[in-house]
């Protein structure tokens, strides 16, 4: 049997978790490979990058889409289980599930609205006509980032305060703030309610400082919280601040920081995840691609 496309795996993967127990990816891959009667060669078939098995990649994409629709949820490292919504879907005994089926859930529509128009996963929907190879590569890259960002943010929201504190420090140091990791850790080491509060060097010499507040909130952060943060800056005689949340900021909060004299940067959950990807925090490189073109100077061409 040929390797199924990733949408064909939606329902079998959801059915696998229908026992409401915690499952691991390796277990799911092996179980689904048996269900589709894949040969050893098919299970070992690699993507063009040579870094991952094609079937493993498609199971991972299927899980990512089911998570985006809130039919599955992470419960630990490499572990996931069915949600109440997912179990309700199973009880309807659907004949199949595909992207069209998932679009009835607002969370999945929100997820799709942030992803590029051209879906990247192997075996996915028909792509837009006549895209250039560069457009396809960029579209795929952006979609991988989007899925990775969703996964990262979900994990960050489940972190204990101490680990979240370390994450923020690691990110700020990677971005060039705080001097050394040791200095930054000492500077930001004040534990707060569900996050951290402290002062960190703006540069390695410590010529200026930035006041940092980081909160693992689920609800939208409004103007009152940001205004209180601005007041705390005044109490510390600080001119600059960074407010990090795992949720999002209201329009009033953004309008407020744009009107005041002090410089406050607001980083919401989505931005936090993208910064983590950009600066290599909590992620590891799977493959890289170098896109090249003809060197016109070498051949003496004029452009």
Q: What count of residues does the chain have? A: 303
Q: How is residue 71 written in tokens? A: 């039919």
**Model pLDDT for residues 211-221, shown as the tens digit of each residue:** 888 888 889 99
pLDDT band at 116 (very low <50, low <70, confident <90, very high): low
Q: Is 98:65 a contact under the CB 8 Å cutoff?
A: no
Check pLDDT > 60 for residue 194. no
What is the mean pLDDT of the segment spanning 39-49? 88
Q: What is the pLDDT of residue 187?
A: 56
Average pLDDT value over all residues in the chain: 84
How far is it between the farthest Cα atoms of the chain? 68
Check pLDDT > 60 for residue 125. no
pLDDT band at 100 (very low <50, low <70, confident <90, very high): very high
Check pLDDT > 50 for residue 191. no
Residues 6+ apart with CB under 8 A from 6: 58, 59, 61, 62, 65, 121, 122, 123, 124
What is the mean pLDDT of the segment spanning 275-302? 82
pTM greater than the 0.75 cutoff: no
Query: Which H or E run includes 81?
Result: strand 79-82
More reliable by pLDDT, 117 or 174? 174
What is the mean pLDDT of the segment spanning 226-231? 90
Q: What is the pLDDT of residue 122?
A: 41
Q: Is 174:281 a contact under the CB 8 Å cutoff?
A: yes
**Scanning the structure block, which residue is given the tokens 């409401």?**
20
**Model pLDDT for residues 127-179, shown as the tens digit of each residue:** 333 466 676 777 788 888 889 999 999 899 888 877 887 888 889 888 888 76
Long-range contacts at 41-49 (CB < 8 A, ≥ 24 apart): 42/1, 42/2, 42/3, 45/3, 47/122, 49/286, 49/287, 49/289
């Amino acid at each position: 049997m040929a390797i199924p496309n990733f949408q064909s795996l939606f329902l079998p993967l959801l059915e696998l978790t229908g026992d409401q127990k915690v499952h691991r990816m390796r277990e799911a891959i092996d179980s689904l490979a048996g269900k589709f009667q894949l040969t050893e060669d098919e299970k070992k078939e690699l993507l063009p990058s040579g870094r991952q098995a094609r079937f493993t990649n498609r199971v991972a994409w299927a899980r990512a889409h089911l998570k985006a629709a809130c039919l599955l949820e992470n419960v630990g490292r490499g572990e996931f289980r069915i949600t109440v919504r997912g179990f309700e879907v199973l009880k309807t005994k659907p004949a199949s599930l595909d992207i069209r089926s998932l679009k009835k859930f607002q969370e999945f529509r929100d997820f799709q609205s942030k992803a590029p128009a051209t879906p990247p996963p192997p075996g996915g929907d028909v792509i837009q006509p006549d895209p250039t190879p560069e457009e396809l590569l960029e579209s795929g890259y952006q979609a991988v980032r989007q899925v990775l960002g969703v996964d990262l943010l979900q994990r960050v929201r489940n972190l204990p305060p101490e680990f979240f504190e370390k994450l923020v420090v690691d990110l700020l140091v990677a971005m060039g703030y705080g001097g050394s990791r040791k200095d930054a850790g000492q500077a930001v080491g004040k534990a707060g309610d569900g996050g951290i509060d402290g002062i960190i060097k703006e540069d390695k010499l410590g010529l200026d400082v930035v006041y940092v507040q980081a909160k693992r909130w689920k609800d939208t952060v409004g103007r009152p919280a940001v205004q209180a943060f601005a007041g705390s800056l005044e109490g510390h005689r600080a001119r600059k601040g960074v407010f990090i949340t795992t949720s999002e900021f209201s329009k009033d909060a953004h309008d407020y920081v744009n009107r005041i004299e002090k410089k406050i940067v607001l980083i919401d959950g989505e931005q936090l995840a993208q910064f983590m990807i950009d600066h290599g925090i909590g992620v590891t490189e799977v493959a890289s691609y170098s896109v090249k073109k003809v060197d016109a100077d070498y051949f003496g061409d004029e452009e």
